[in-house]
Amino acid sequence: MIKSILTKKILYWYDNNKRSLPWRKKLTQIKREYYTLVSEFMLQQTQVVTVIPYFNNFIKDIPNISSLAKINEHKLLKYWEGLGYYSRVRNLKKTAQILEKDFKGRLPSTIEELKLLPGIGEYTANAIMAISFNKPFIPLDGNIERVIKRLLNLKLISEISKENLSRKKKILGTSVRASDYAQALMEFGALICRPKNPLCSQCPLTKNCKSFKNNDFEIIKVRKKRIDKFYLLNVYKKDNKFLLIKNTKFSFLKNLKMFPMDEIPKHNNVKKTLNFKISNMNMNIIIQFIKIKVSIPNSSWIDGTKLDSYTLPTFTKKIFSHLKKN
């Protein structure tokens, strides 16, 4: 009974407050599958407002699974430049190729088959089942997790584990409008039950919410500890040209252009290092300038005055701006 009241309240709120997003337009089933696939890959690790222009640009030029399966990788990366986490777009293309070859360009409609596709894990598979196929699945993203934690006022580490939250999501119930309901929950978490300063005065769920009753809105997160890593980065320069290599050595920024670098043991003089956060790492980078003597495999010279004409990851661009300033 309570579950169905919650569902109705959230859907009612959604119908009156949802944002107009390009992947929420009225679409044919084929387009819905493709738009969901692309938007969900882009939304992994990236916020909705950032994704919108990237999504529009991507869909305009790569309008379906077949064109995505065929596009040349260099061109494809251009559409992702600035979004980061490039393994997502490579997996997206691999998935499109499998769909073209084995599924006649459509998405499979079982969660087991979806999870076998590159880049599709538990969350994305649940999102596709709900959003594309209107099946009663609830994808547990950060927004929905937070709504569950607040509704039940969960605080203990054992209470906020993924496993426990997966069990507790049944309090949200299901709806015949499964596609809308999954999106409604995400939207509600993003716009009303926000991480900081939830808008309880506009919330239809105050009567169902233990955090509201207890006046306790703090959210406890299980944080993965970042690992400190140290690198020596080599800058080879000839006039305005800089030598970059295609990265085949490190698991991050795979196959993308970067300055040659090596991992080194912990360096004590951290003041001299440049710091970046990439996935679960705190990268500490020491830069050294080197005169080129030997040829370096997989390398190319990049004109430092025409950086916009190359596909470079943000990491490499940030090194360039640091070099400019110093």
Which residues are annotated as catalytic?
Answer: 40
* Rounded-to-integer distance, Cα 22 and Cα 72, Å: 25
Helix (H) or strand (E) holding 108: none
- CB 160 within 8 Å of CB 218: no
The least distance separating ligand SF4 from the CB of residue 200, rounded to whole angstroms, comes to: 3
* Rounded-to-integer distance, Cα 66 and Cα 150, Å: 42
Binding region for ligand SF4 (CB under 6 A)? 147, 150-151, 192-193, 198-200, 203, 205-206, 209, 211-212, 217
* Rounded-to-integer distance, Cα 73 and Cα 61, Å: 14
DSSP assigned state of 157: T
* Rounded-to-integer distance, Cα 99 and Cα 298, Å: 32
Q: Which of 306, 241, 230 lies closest to 268, judged by CA?
A: 230
Q: Going by C-beta distance under 8 Å and a sequence separation of 6 or more, which residues neighbour residue 104? A: none
Q: Going by C-beta distance under 8 Å and a sequence separation of 6 or more, which residues neighbour residue 67? A: none
The least distance separating ligand SF4 from the CB of residue 144, rounded to whole angstroms, comes to: 12
Nearer to ligand SF4, 179 or 211 (CB): 211
Nearer to ligand SF4, 20 or 201 (CB): 201
The least distance separating ligand SF4 from the CB of residue 152, rounded to whole angstroms, comes to: 10
- Amino acid 2 reads I
- CB 129 within 8 Å of CB 122: no
The least distance separating ligand SF4 from the CB of residue 202, rounded to whole angstroms, comes to: 8
The least distance separating ligand SF4 from the CB of residue 10, rounded to whole angstroms, comes to: 10
Nearer to ligand SF4, 89 or 190 (CB): 190
Q: Which of 106, 128, 147 lies closest to 40, judged by CA?
A: 128
| Residue-level length of the chain | 326
Nearer to ligand SF4, 32 or 150 (CB): 150
The least distance separating ligand SF4 from the CB of residue 151, rounded to whole angstroms, comes to: 6
Nearer to ligand SF4, 201 or 251 (CB): 201
* Rounded-to-integer distance, Cα 23 and Cα 315, Å: 29
Nearer to ligand SF4, 153 or 279 (CB): 153
- CB 78 within 8 Å of CB 311: yes
- CB 168 within 8 Å of CB 188: no
* Rounded-to-integer distance, Cα 272 and Cα 287, Å: 9
